[in-house]
């Protein structure tokens, strides 16, 4: 070594002043990239604009009409007003319900995002919200707030999510049998498709109801989109679908007509898959 390099040395900063621990801003540096905010598409803007115009102008129109009726006769005015209020009340109630059901599904996203971030407090808050919405009679985990997050998660899984998953599977089995039967008796393939779609949507809504969601139209559409996404993974990761299917179809009723139609088996398999995917899509916490 050349003489120019000095030996190792520790230089302590001004005495008597404790230093802050270093902070590399690690949380921010490693934060999972947020999914790009899709924002509103042109089509939705268009749709919402049209709806606002339609609804807004009809409210104004109705207002004018009520005023005109009052000008004619007081009693006529009152009756018209009552009719208008009742009618628009129902319309707005429906819209409110749609919005609520749509937002309810968003809590699932929030809970999962918090879970992915490892934000224990936010996960627990989301779990409490979600529990409040569960249908009556559903077992709930108690005292989540005091628990470490792992324990809370395991408890929610055992007390609530696992039973829901079992019920969802039962619903899926029923739907599978019905779908199978439908193909056996339906006169035309076109009708099949219609019947399946209707049964499938009903199944998804039933499963969502288990999780405490009562989706309206917008909610159902969102839900179906999510289920479609999850179905890909469920189909791939679950060898159990085949087993459930065999279990369901060995019921005597199905056996009589088994073999008649391959389409029936395919349809039945889809129903079981759909039940699982719907369950996956509605879970507040991702499966362990």
Partner 1 sequence: MDPFALIRGVVGTTEDAARALVGRERLRLAVTGLSRAGKTVFLTSLIANLLAAGRGARTLPALDEAVGGRIRRVRIIPAGTETIPRFDPEAHLGALAADPPHWPERTEDFSTLSIAIDVERRTSLGGLLPERRVTLDLLDYPGEWLLDLPMLRQDYAAWSAATLTRLRQGIRAEAARDFLAFIDALPGDAAAEDALAKRGFTLYRDALRDCRDNHGLRFLQPGRFLNPGPRGEAPLLWFFPLPPTAQGGLAALCARRYAAYLEDQRTAFLDPFFTRFHRQVVLVDVLGALHAGQEAFEDTAEALAAVAAVVSGGNWLERMLGAAPTRVAFAATKADHVPTRARDALAALLEHLALGARGRAEASGAATSFHALAAIRCTEDAVAMLEGQAFAAVRGVLLNEGRGATIYPGEVPMKPPEPAFWQTGFFRMPEFRPPRLDPAGSVGVPHLGMDALLARLLGDAL
Length of the chain: 288
Which 3 state secondary structure label does DSSP give 25?
coil
Contact residue for partner 1 among 73, 94, 191, 232 (CB under 8 A)? 232
CA of 97: how far to CAs of 104, 201, 283, in Å?
Answer: 10, 19, 21
Q: How far is the CB of 149 from partner 1 (least distance, A)?
A: 7
Contact residue for partner 1 among 36, 132, 190, 239 (CB under 8 A)? 239
42 makes contact with partner 1 (CB under 8 A): no
Q: How far is the CB of 235 from partner 1 (least distance, A)?
A: 8
**CA 190 to chain CA centroid, nearest Å:** 30
146 makes contact with partner 1 (CB under 8 A): no
Asked whether 156 and 144 are in contact (CB, 8 A), the reply is yes
In angstroms, the CA 89 to CA 72 distance is 25
Contact residue for partner 1 among 119, 129, 157, 167 (CB under 8 A)? 119
Rg (CA), the chain: 28
Q: Which is nearer to partner 1, 8 or 187 (CB)?
A: 8
In angstroms, the CA 177 to CA 272 distance is 10
State the SS3 of 216-277: CHHHHHHHHHHHHHHHHHHHHHCCHHHHHHHHHHCCHHHHHHCCCCHHHHHHHHHHHHHHHH
19 makes contact with partner 1 (CB under 8 A): yes
Q: Which stretch binds partner 1 (CB under 8 A): 29-37, 192-200, 247-255, 270-278?
A: 29-37
243 makes contact with partner 1 (CB under 8 A): no
Angle between helix axes 262-282 and 162-185 (nearest 10 degrees) is 150
Contact residue for partner 1 among 134, 181, 235, 257 (CB under 8 A)? 235
Binding-residue total with partner 1 (CB under 8 A) = 39
236 makes contact with partner 1 (CB under 8 A): yes
137 makes contact with partner 1 (CB under 8 A): no
185 makes contact with partner 1 (CB under 8 A): no
38 makes contact with partner 1 (CB under 8 A): no
From the number of C-beta atoms within 10 Å of its C-beta (0-12, 13-18, 19+), residue 137 rates as: exposed
- Judged by phi (left if over 0) then psi (alpha if -120 to 50, else beta), residue 31 lies in beta
Q: Which is nearer to partner 1, 7 or 137 (CB)?
A: 7
Q: Which is nearer to partner 1, 62 or 235 (CB)?
A: 235
Q: Which stretch binds partner 1 (CB under 8 A): 14-22, 45-53, 66-74, 265-273?
A: 14-22
Q: How far is the CB of 14 from partner 1 (least distance, A)?
A: 8
Residues in touch with partner 1 (CB under 8 A): 1, 5-13, 15, 17-24, 26-27, 29-33, 115-120, 149, 232, 235-237, 239, 288
């Amino acid at each position: 070594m050349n003489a120019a390099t000095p030996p190792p040395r520790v230089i302590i900063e001004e005495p008597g002043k404790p230093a802050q621990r270093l902070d590399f801003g690690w949380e921010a540096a490693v934060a999972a990239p947020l999914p790009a905010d899709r924002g509103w598409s042109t089509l939705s803007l268009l749709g919402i604009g049209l709806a606002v115009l339609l609804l807004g102008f009809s409210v104004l129109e109705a207002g004018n009409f009520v005023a005109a009726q009052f000008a004619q006769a007081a009693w006529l005015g009152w009756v018209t007003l009552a009719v208008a209020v009742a009618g628009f009340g129902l319309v707005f109630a429906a819209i409110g319900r749609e919005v609520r059901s749509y937002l309810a599904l968003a809590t699932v996203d929030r809970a999962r995002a918090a879970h992915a971030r490892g934000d224990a407090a936010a996960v627990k808050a989301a779990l409490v919200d979600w529990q409040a919405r569960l249908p009556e009679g559903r077992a709930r985990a108690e005292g989540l707030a005091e628990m470490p997050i792992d324990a809370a998660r395991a408890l929610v899984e055992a007390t609530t999510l696992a039973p829901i998953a079992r019920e969802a599977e039962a619903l899926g089995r029923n739907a599978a049998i019905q779908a199978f039967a439908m193909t056996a008796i339906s006169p035309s393939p076109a009708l099949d498709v219609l019947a399946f779609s209707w049964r499938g949507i009903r199944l998804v809504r039933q499963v969502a109801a288990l999780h405490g969601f009562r989706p309206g139209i917008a909610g159902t559409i969102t839900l179906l989109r999510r289920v479609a996404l999850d179905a890909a993974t469920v189909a791939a990761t679950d060898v159990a679908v085949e087993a459930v299917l065999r279990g369901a179809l060995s019921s005597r009723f199905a056996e009589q007509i088994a073999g008649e139609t391959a389409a029936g088996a395919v349809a039945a398999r889809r129903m079981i898959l759909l039940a699982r995917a719907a369950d996956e899509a509605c879970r507040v916490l991702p499966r362990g």
